[in-house]
């Protein structure tokens, strides 16, 4: 499939800006892909900085825009928000809908190398090489001021894509990210299926391993992570302590904030959303000077 122009599916007035939902034919994925964009009113007078949000397992391009409560402050700050879907849809790969944590809704933001997933499950290339260039070319979004954040599987995606593409993403943060997927059940299942049994191939998509391989701090202005201590996935799946240790080893400034009583869901995310938006605005403002 050749890449096709943006098709606007719906548009809604939102805090004096526009909440839009789009679809396009992706050449990287080989299928139509959906995503959402919030454009603040400031975009009517020129390009604005943008935050790319990567959602977690079972989510789609609507989840963040409907649940996170980010548009009000983004409108005040003049930030565009972009939320892609979490996997290809309609690939018809055998078994892709059998598990909630693998296949549909669980693309893990990487390019699969193993059959039958490699043909369509190319989320990293879709986002970095196709979607963002498409949006910065078609919409008033500043290609030099893009940050990335995400939640859970999307937090994994935010950290790994930021570390793999530091020239593209000028700031990074995460909510309850999967910090060491090579060492947790979710990650090991996904990596085995998408990347194969050779665990050495997994390290290129493991945030803690990528940080350990850094020669110096890749984000000297700091990385922000928020983690709820009542998160049922914290003990076995998330391992923020491993990412914290990797950051310390290379001198990467990290603010790892742990919050008693908060779980893994969007009430937690909405509670601390403003801090994340301001974290990014500070760094994206510096990137634009």
Query: Can you name the residues that pair with 226 across neighbouring β-strands?
Result: 175, 257
Q: What angle do CA 153, 159, 163 make, to 5 degrees?
A: 145
**What residues have CB less than 8 Å from 276, skipping those under 6 apart?**
149, 173, 175, 224, 226
Query: Can you name the residues that pair with 69 across neighbouring β-strands?
Result: none
**Rounded-to-10 torsion of CA 41, 46, 49, 54:** 70
Strands (E) in the chain, as ranges, are 7-14, 17-25, 32-39, 48-54, 80-84, 141-151, 171-175, 223-228, 254-259
* Bond before 116 cis per omega within 30 degrees: yes
Strands 171-175, 223-228: pairing is: parallel
Q: Please identify every residue annotated as catalytic.
A: 152, 231, 264
């Amino acid at each position: 499939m050749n890449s096709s122009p943006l098709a606007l599916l719906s548009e809604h007035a939102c805090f004096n800006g526009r909440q839009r939902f789009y679809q396009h034919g992706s050449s990287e994925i080989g299928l139509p892909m959906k995503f959402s964009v919030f454009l603040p009113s400031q975009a009517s007078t020129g390009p604005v900085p943008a935050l790319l949000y990567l959602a977690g397992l079972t989510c789609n391009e609507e989840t963040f825009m409907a649940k996170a409560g980010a548009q009000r402050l983004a409108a005040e700050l003049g930030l565009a928000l972009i939320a892609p879907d979490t996997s290809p849809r309609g690939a018809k790969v055998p078994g892709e809908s059998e598990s909630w944590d693998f296949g549909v809704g669980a693309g893990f933001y990487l390019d699969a190398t193993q059959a039958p997933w490699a043909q369509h499950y190319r989320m990293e290339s879709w986002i970095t090489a196709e979607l963002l260039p498409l949006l910065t070319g078609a919409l008033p979004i500043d290609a030099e001021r893009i940050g990335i954040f995400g939640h859970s599987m999307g937090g994994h995606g935010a950290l790994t894509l930021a570390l793999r593409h530091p020239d593209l993403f000028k700031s990074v943060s995460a909510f309850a990210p999967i910090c060491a997927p090579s060492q947790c059940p979710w990650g090991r299942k996904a990596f085995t299926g998408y990347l194969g049994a050779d665990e050495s191939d997994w390290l290129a998509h493991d945030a803690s391993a990528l940080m350990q391989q850094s020669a110096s701090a890749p984000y000297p202005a700091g990385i922000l992570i928020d983690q709820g201590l009542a998160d049922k996935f914290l003990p076995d799946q998330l391992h923020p302590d491993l990412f914290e240790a990797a950051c310390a080893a290379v001198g990467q400034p990290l603010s790892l904030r742990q919050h008693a009583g908060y779980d893994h869901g969007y009430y937690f995310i909405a509670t601390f959303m403003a801090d994340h938006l301001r974290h990014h605005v500070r760094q994206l403002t510096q990137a634009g000077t």
